[in-house]
Amino acid sequence: MRLFRNRPPDNRPADNHVHTRWSWDTPDASTMRRACERAIAQGLPAIAFTEHLDFTVWHEDDAATSQGLIDRHPAYQRPIDVDGYWAELTECRERFPELRIWSGVETGEPHLFATSVAEHLQDSPVDRVLGSLHSLSLDGQLVGVGRLLYADPDATMRRYLGEVVHMIESSDVFQVLAHVDFPRRYWPGGSEHYVEKDYEEEYRAVFRALAATGRALEVNTSSPLASVDQVRWFHEEGGEAISFGSDAHAPTAVGQRFDLAVDIVETAGFRPGRDRFEFWRR
């Protein structure tokens, strides 16, 4: 058996949330090729390149416009170079036939940018669409939640989770809810001071809304890991599907902490899908 000692476990799921240099916040050295090599070394069956789809200029039909939002703060976001993205993805599919490679986007605030997102996807359809809330409105601007937390972490967290419910109920463009409690990454004083249980009712409202649509909850392994309790709340509220996402912005982070995440999700009552490419199921 010594021969196989370093072989990765064969129950590792697909990584449905990976960024590369085609995302505005990811360095040039983070190539798809290196991410694929890492995925194969980790024993992952599949990888999805879900680049950030964020807008700094919006369509007149977007809800962001009708809500009177003027701009973003900060506003470093850049459009995806669709031609470059597809050229590298196609090359990787040829180079790594043993790995299933999905196209994707991580839509930021998709409920505020429905028309802009639809236009992008019409020109460049993808396999995986993640839905993310990174920002909340403040005085006519969309402001990154990390900045809002410092004024009032508790109120910001409750407002955030309430807005996630609204995002789920008013946008059906995404298949997976990414990093449900994104602000905990930036919790004042350190994420270890964040107490999930304080927001149980708010989480449950999110999970009820998501479960009602049959969509998947992501266990995000860049964020501080969800507890078994949190994933179980989703199960208790009728949640059907779980997606695993490293949210890697560097190739070395592809598939990070998936063994821990699998343990958590299994303990909370979910099982692998029919094959290794599917979401996990209740």
Name the residues that contact Zn ion, by CB under 5 A. Answer: 106, 132, 247
- Tokens read off for 280: 């996990």
Q: How far apart are CA 202 and CA 184, in angstroms?
A: 14
Q: How far apart are CA 211 and CA 222, in angstroms?
A: 23
If the CB atoms of residues 34 and 185 are measured against Zn ion, the closer one turns out to be 185
Q: Are 17 and 246 in contact (CB under 8 A)?
A: yes
If the CB atoms of residues 24 and 96 are measured against Zn ion, the closer one turns out to be 24
Q: Kindly give, in sequence order, each residue whose CB lies less than 8 Å from that of residue 30, ignoring residues fewer than 6 positions away.
A: 19, 20, 21, 248, 249, 250, 251
If the CB atoms of residues 171 and 232 are measured against Zn ion, the closer one turns out to be 171
Minimum separation from the CB atom of position 139 to Zn ion (A): 23
Minimum separation from the CB atom of position 17 to Zn ion (A): 6
Q: How far from 264 is each of 86, 231, 232, 246, CA to CA, in Å?
A: 34, 8, 9, 15
Minimum separation from the CB atom of position 48 to Zn ion (A): 11
Q: Are 237 and 208 in contact (CB under 8 A)?
A: yes
Per DSSP, the three-state class of 202 is helix
Per DSSP, the three-state class of 217 is strand
- Tokens read off for 237: 């509220």
Q: How far apart are CA 251 and CA 67, in angstroms?
A: 38
Minimum separation from the CB atom of position 156 to Zn ion (A): 17
Minimum separation from the CB atom of position 203 to Zn ion (A): 18
If the CB atoms of residues 179 and 235 are measured against Zn ion, the closer one turns out to be 179
If the CB atoms of residues 132 and 230 are measured against Zn ion, the closer one turns out to be 132
Q: Which runs of consecutive H residues, i.e. helices, occur in 111-199? A: 114-123, 145-149, 153-170
Minimum separation from the CB atom of position 1 to Zn ion (A): 38
Minimum separation from the CB atom of position 178 to Zn ion (A): 5
If the CB atoms of residues 202 and 247 are measured against Zn ion, the closer one turns out to be 247
If the CB atoms of residues 106 and 202 are measured against Zn ion, the closer one turns out to be 106
Q: How far apart are CA 279 and CA 102, in angstroms?
A: 14
Torsion angle (degrees, nearest 10) of CA 162, 14, 102, 27: 80
